[in-house]
A and B are shown apart, each in its own frame.
Chain A
Amino acid sequence: MLELSNVNAGYGAFQALFGLSMRVEAGEAVAVIGANGAGKTTLLRVISGLVPARGGEMTMEGRDLRLTPAHRIVEAGIAHVPESRRLFPRLSVEDNLRMGAFVPAARAKFAERLEYVYALFPRLKERRQQLAGTMSGGEQQMCAIGRALMSGPKLVLLDEPSMGLAPVIVAQVFDLVKRIRSEGYTVLIVEQNVAQVLKVADRAYLLEVGRIKASGRAGDLAASDEIRKAYMGL
């Protein structure tokens, strides 16, 4: 479905990704793990066009993403739930969801998808008129995921969904991830909470300073001594 080969990227003189190649197949949940500053967030930002790739190839179902302007990437079936959620704090929950359905193709199905998201997250329906910025962290994460689903994506990019949340809520958020998986979405998730994310993912890539250091089935990586020591504190 999504395929990256030999992608470089960075900000100004700083290079964050070095010749990175990876793929995500339809129906998979793939995790990208690594330390702070390894380039995980940059990777997602490159895929959704917020940061331009400087070299290499990047395709989504055969469509060249590098030739697609950032605001057109959504139409290719990719929805990005950004780091720290980034809801529009002074818009209501429903208006946030409406923004998720901004692209013309999604507008036609707004009512239908709104029902779907509300069924998936009944809490959002209760709070539909509330300003998004006044909700709790876990509720905001629901809203951010709901907003991404409103565009009817095939692939959902999740950037650190557990960040800044209390431990109890973190467990709930990983439940959310499992639920959208079981709804049939393909998921690419970036996380620092390695132990948890490897339980939800099928496969994983380990990123170190902008390069892929290891990859494989999530269970295998979770069993690797090196990863257990360096990233799971065991």
Chain B
Amino acid sequence: MDCHLDIFFLEALLNGLLLAGLLALLALGLNLVFGVIDVVWICYAELVMVGMYGVHYAYKGGLPFIVAAALGIVLVAVAAGLLHVLVIRPVLETAPINQLLVTGGVLFFLQAAATMAFGVEFKNIGISLGSLNVLDMSFSRARILSFVVALVGMLALWLFLTRTYMGTAIRAIAQDRQIMPLMGVDSRRIYLVTSAIGGGLAGLAAGLMVLNYDIYPQIGLQFGPLIFMICVLGGLGSMIGGFVAAFVISQFIAVGSSCFHTEWGYAVAFLFFMIAIFFRPQGLFGAKS
């Protein structure tokens, strides 16, 4: 396809913007966990995949979609809590890279477990919200809904982090873990809560993902690397950075995909990412160390 500065190009830009909301929400959970616990969950996208299956089957089992989506949030929050207690906590004091690798084992496990439980077929939840036509442009309603919910989710997290004791403690523990007991804070509990919130955000994203994409066990590999890239580009741990990076990256994908093949949109985004990091290794909004 050719690239012209016309209405289709504008449509691509706006679709990129809508995609960015979802990507930013996905990046948010990972960013929170990394910023606070200093652990990278390589299996983060697989947690989202688990949530997608959860929402899918809850809905197919007869629950209203909104209830199914809420269940998805709880499911992934619990899964993330278990991940922290069973897998991360035992290696928390060892070399950081072990923490990254150990979640890589979980990635393989979750993929295989999903294959065993749900098969390799692509599954579609079968909800069509149709599309919205403005001028000659067409936007999927599911995507618009995702964008709005993602913004609301991010706002809710921001309020939680700045307005509550638990949220303040989550921000504080990222800055000085050793003295937390002097504040009467049990660090283990804060880490567990942080993990569960990170999982909850992944679960929220999962509920939106099922409206936009088919589910299959390997879906995590499709968008997992993208989420890591957004987090690093924004500055790991910086939530505003992750937000901005999501917008930058999604524009590359949307415009690249509309002009060329989808893979090239992604490939260009990754190339841009690598080059950008060479100029700003701490990320767009990361604190300079």
Contact = CB atoms under 8 A, between A and B. Distances in A.
Interface of A: 48-50, 69-75, 79-80, 82, 86, 88-91, 95, 98-103, 106-107, 147, 151
A80 B185 CA distance: 13
A48 B181 contact: yes
Which 7 A-B residue pairs are closest in the complex by CB-CB distance? Answer: A74-B184, A70-B181, A103-B184, A71-B186, A71-B181, A88-B175, A88-B172
Contact of B168 (A69, A82, A89, A99): A99
What secondary structure prevails in chain B residues at the interface with A?
A: helix
Interface string B163-188: 00100110110011011111111110
Contacts, number: 68
Contact of B182 (A80, A90, A101): A80
19 contacts: A48-B181, A50-B182, A71-B184, A72-B184, A74-B183, A74-B184, A75-B184, A79-B182, A80-B182, A88-B172, A89-B175, A95-B172, A98-B168, A99-B168, A99-B169, A100-B183, A102-B169, A102-B183, A147-B183
Nearest to B173: A88
A95 B181 contact: no
Interface of B: 165, 168-169, 171-172, 175-176, 178-187, 287
A50 B168 contact: no
B165 A98 contact: yes
Residue from B165, B168, B182, B186 having most chain A Cβ neighbours under 10 A: B182
A112 to B, nearest CB: 16
A90 to B, nearest CB: 6
B165 to A, nearest CB: 6
Contacts of A49: 181
B176 A102 contact: no
B171 A91 contact: yes
